[in-house]
């Protein structure tokens, strides 16, 4: 098949077989699981999960060609339930001429609604089609459970620098258009950094730089000319995608691990990627309560102040307040005793059920309630020395049950000592 030299470079360089396919050796390399399945001629439905530009669509096309199956494609962006049913009907008719089920490739399957996914389920269950889905989102969150249970999930990884340079050199040597220009990669740091593990982005950058060079002579790639041609960093951060959750996870774990440098780095990644500052501020409030807690109660106050500040000033100055709160939280002593206490109490409540409130802890706003001993024998703490008196505040069956266990830090040591002085042998602190 001839290649249209006017097509984009990414299309001209699209591999036609597994031997030309670069990367994903864990799936399609020698003796890899997916390659073995393809070579056997028997494949089941599966979902390809990975970031943009790693070859999901290309791999699906190669598989269909290798197996000589009918190949139907749907885009979740432009297809509805009607289009899904029409394709399935065509697939049924195709079975009359080929005993093997056709391949139905759905790009951006995570964008399919529940109704659209439901309309696929019967065809997949009956073996009318072999489904290959492609997604940049975690399928466990975006694909309905019945459909997901009938599909194997294969994870595609970002291209490493070795893979990207193999592709770049292949362009220089093999592309019908660019090989005439004599391309040299004198420096590659900027090229690889801007590509960010995305093969399609790499090809687009190469094409952009070459097209920007005047004349038909040699093209030398340097860090400077790549950076100059790209007016802004084609940032890999997707605030609506999987990386969004990965980076916020790394951010919170860096704070929890008391690493201000790691926390600031991940904060910078989010700021540079255009993350919603209120989202970051909310997570700081949660971290202050969950991870720092009683070891430094001021952390929650500062995190709340940061959240209020973000509401008032937004970007770009809001980054300063976020940085201040991030560093303060990362360098604070840590305790999750409050977090553990509420979780333990919730588990106990689920096990024990709705136990009645002891009579002495109930209010008695009516005469009838007084007659029923509501509030009887309740001891008003402020009437006693030190505003404290030993009294049971739990249901009688759970007397002396404890949920909060103080942890070893200056703040909670003081709290524990106070509880010991008040409760004595009644509670163990």
Tell whether the model's pLDDT for residue 158 goes beyond 50: yes
Question: In what helix (H) or strand (E) does residue 367 lie, and over which residues does it extend?
Answer: helix 367-371
Tell whether the model's pLDDT for residue 238 goes beyond 50: no
Backbone angles phi, psi at 222, to 5 degrees: -130, 165
CATH 1.10.8 domain position(s) in the chain: 161-229
**375 three-class SS:** coil
Which whole number is the average pLDDT over 196-213? 85
Distance, CA of 381 to CA of 378 (rounded, Å): 9
Residues 295 and 414: beta-carbon distance below 8 Å = no
Estimate to the nearest angstrom the gap between the alpha carbon of 214 and the chain centroid.
43
**345 three-class SS:** helix
pTM of the model: 0.59
Distance, CA of 164 to CA of 185 (rounded, Å): 12
Distance, CA of 12 to CA of 397 (rounded, Å): 75
Tell whether the model's pLDDT for residue 234 goes beyond 50: no
Which whole number is the average pLDDT over 57-79? 83
Q: What is the β-pairing status of strands 183-185 and 219-221? A: parallel
Question: What is the per-residue pLDDT across 100-119, written as a single tens digit (0 to 9) for each?
Answer: 888 889 888 888 888 888 88
**59 three-class SS:** helix
Residue range 161-229 forms a domain whose CATH class is: mainly alpha
Tell whether the model's pLDDT for residue 70 goes beyond 90: no
Distance, CA of 368 to CA of 360 (rounded, Å): 15
Angle between helices 277-287 and 260-272 (to 10 degrees): 160
Which whole number is the average pLDDT over 385-403? 85
Question: What is the per-residue pLDDT across 205-233, written as a single tens digit (0 to 9) for each?
Answer: 898 888 887 777 788 998 888 888 876 44
Architecture of the domain whose range is 24-155: 3-Layer(aba) Sandwich (3.40)
* Domain 242-331 fold: Zinc Finger, Delta Prime; domain 3 (1.20.272)
CATH 1.20.272.10 domain position(s) in the chain: 242-331
* Strand partners of residue 49: 135, 155
Closest CA to 245 of 140, 171, 322: 140
**What is the overall mean pLDDT for the chain?**
85
Q: What percentage of the chain reaches a pLDDT higher than 70?
A: 93
Cis peptide before 294 (omega within 30 of 0): no
Which whole number is the average pLDDT over 247-274? 90
Question: What is the per-residue pLDDT across 313-354, written as a single tens digit (0 to 9) for each?
Answer: 888 888 999 999 999 999 999 999 999 898 888 888 888 877
pLDDT value of residue 309: 93
**Matching residue, tokens 């890999």:** 236
- E strand map for 64-115: 71-75, 103-107
Helices (H), 95-241: 114-125, 139-142, 145-148, 161-174, 189-195, 199-212, 223-229
Long-range contacts of 274-279 (CB under 8 A, 24+ apart): 274/235, 274/237, 274/239, 275/237, 275/239, 275/244, 276/239, 277/310, 277/314, 277/315, 277/318, 277/319, 277/322, 278/307, 278/310, 278/311, 279/248
CATH 3.40.50.300 domain position(s) in the chain: 24-155
Angstrom CA distances, 9 to 12, 13, 65, 208, stand at 5, 6, 22, 10
Encode 69-101: b = buried (16+ Cβ within 10 Å), e = exposed: bbbbbbebeebeeeebeebbeebeebeeeeebb
pLDDT value of residue 299: 94
Question: What is the per-residue pLDDT across 279-318, written as a single tens digit (0 to 9) for each?
Answer: 899 999 999 999 999 999 999 999 999 999 998 888 888 8
Distance, CA of 164 to CA of 279 (rounded, Å): 34
């Amino acid at each position: 098949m001839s290649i249209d030299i006017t097509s984009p470079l990414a299309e001209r360089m699209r591999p036609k077989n597994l031997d030309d396919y670069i990367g994903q050796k864990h799936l399609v390399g020698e003796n890899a699981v997916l390659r073995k399945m393809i070579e056997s001629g028997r494949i089941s439905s599966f979902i390809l999960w990975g970031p943009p530009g790693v070859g999901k669509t290309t791999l699906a096309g190669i598989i269909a060609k290798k197996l000589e199956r009918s190949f139907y494609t749907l885009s979740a962006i432009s297809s509805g339930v009607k289009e899904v049913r029409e394709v399935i009907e065509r697939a049924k008719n195709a079975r009359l001429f080929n005993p093997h089920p056709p391949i139905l490739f759905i790009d951006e399957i995570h964008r399919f609604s529940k109704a659209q996914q439901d309309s696929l389920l019967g065809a997949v269950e009956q073996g009318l089609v072999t489904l290959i889905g492609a997604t940049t989102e975690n399928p466990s969150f975006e694909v309905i459970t019945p459909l997901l249970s009938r599909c194997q999930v294969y994870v595609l990884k970002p291209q490493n620098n070795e893979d990207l340079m193999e592709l770049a050199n292949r362009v220089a040597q093999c592309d019908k258009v660019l090989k005439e220009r004599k391309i040299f990669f004198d420096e590659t740091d900027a090229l690889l950094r801007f590509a960010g593990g995305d093969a399609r982005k790499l090809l687009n950058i190469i094409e952009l730089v070459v097209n920007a060079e005047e004349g038909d002579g040699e093209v030398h790639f340097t860090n400077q000319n790549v950076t100059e041609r790209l007016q802004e960093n084609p940032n890999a951060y997707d605030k609506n995608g999987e990386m969004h959750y990965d980076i916020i996870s790394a951010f919170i774990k860096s704070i929890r691990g008391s690493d201000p440098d790691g926390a600031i780095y991940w904060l910078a990644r989010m700021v540079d990627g255009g993350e919603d500052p209120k989202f970051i501020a909310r997570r700081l409030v949660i971290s202050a309560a969950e991870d720092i807690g009683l070891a430094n109660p001021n952390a929650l106050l500062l995190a709340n102040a940061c959240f209020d500040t973000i509401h008032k000033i937004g970007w770009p100055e809001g980054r300063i307040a976020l940085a201040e709160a991030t560093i303060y939280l990362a360098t604070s002593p840590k305790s999750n005793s409050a977090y553990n206490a509420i979780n333990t109490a919730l588990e106990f409540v689920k096990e024990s059920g709705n136990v009645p409130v002891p009579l002495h802890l109930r209010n008695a706003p009516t005469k009838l309630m007084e007659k029923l001993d509501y509030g009887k024998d309740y001891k008003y703490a402020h009437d006693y020395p030190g505003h404290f008196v030993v009294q049971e505040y739990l249901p009688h069956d759970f007397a002396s049950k404890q949920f909060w266990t103080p942890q070893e830090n200056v703040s909670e040591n003081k709290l524990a000592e106070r509880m010991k002085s008040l409760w004595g042998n009644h509670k163990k602190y």
